[in-house]
């Protein structure tokens, strides 16, 4: 996997020295509703994940990259998941640190990932599941051309509450 660069961010593969940053993000309780995490991750488990993160997307069905600023500060992660090579599609998720939200970094990272997905992985479509009250993510996906194509009622359960979820999709019509 090569390093991918946008105008504001760089997407790069995970490295072993990302353990502390990964640990902080994965164990941030405020993000557990989005990631559907229920228990903390140990450093040992995350270390093992980092050691296998360089395997091919066709084998693991996922690809996680670190989002860094141009000055090489780690500011988040962007993922392809549920990679489906038969139907040429994958899901997308993105997380940025609080200090780097609403500054254009997410939009740039998503555009870079989309370009890579369509040109290099030859995907036909990307999708994302977004909670109804996550207005920042809704705006982000709409800003790069994702279309709201579905509404799932009471889809996610977290802390005693059901929440609705939107399905966003981007179909690449350029072959």
Mean pLDDT score, 155-174: 93
Q: Could you give the CA distance from residue 48 to residue 45 in angstroms, rounded to a whole number?
A: 5
Where in the sequence is the domain holding 68, given as residue range(s)? 4-171
Q: What is the pTM of this model?
A: 0.89
Q: Could you give the CA distance from residue 37 to residue 137 in angstroms, rounded to a whole number?
A: 18
> What are the two backbone dihedrals, phi and then psi, of residue 171, each rounded to the nearest 5 degrees?
-105, 125
Domain count across the chain: 1
Helices (H), the chain: 19-26, 32-35, 43-52, 57-60, 105-119, 135-143
- pLDDT, tens digit, 9 for 90 and up, residues 31-87: 766 777 777 778 888 888 888 777 778 777 889 999 999 999 999 999 999 999 999
Task: Say which CATH number the domain at 58 has.
Answer: 3.40.630.30
CA angle 68, 130, 9 (to 5 degrees): 15
């Amino acid at each position: 996997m090569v390093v991918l660069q946008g105008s504001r961010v760089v997407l790069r593969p995970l490295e072993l020295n990302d353990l502390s940053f990964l640990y902080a993000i994965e164990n941030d309780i405020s993000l557990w509703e989005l990631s559907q995490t229920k228990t903390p991750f140990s450093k040992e488990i995350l270390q093992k994940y980092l050691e296998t993160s360089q395997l091919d997307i066709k084998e693991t069905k996922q690809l996680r990259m670190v989002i860094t600023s141009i000055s090489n500060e780690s500011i988040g992660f962007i993922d392809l998941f549920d990679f489906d090579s038969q139907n040429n599609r994958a899901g997308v998720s993105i997380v940025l640190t609080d200090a780097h939200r609403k500054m254009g970094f997410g939009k740039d990272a998503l555009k870079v990932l989309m370009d890579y997905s369509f040109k290099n992985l030859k995907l036909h479509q990307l999708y994302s599941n977004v909670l109804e009250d996550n207005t920042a993510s809704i705006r982000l996906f709409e800003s790069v051309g994702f279309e709201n194509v579905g509404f799932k009622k009471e889809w996610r359960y977290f802390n005693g509450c059901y929440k609705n979820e939107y399905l966003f999709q981007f179909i690449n019509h350029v072959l």
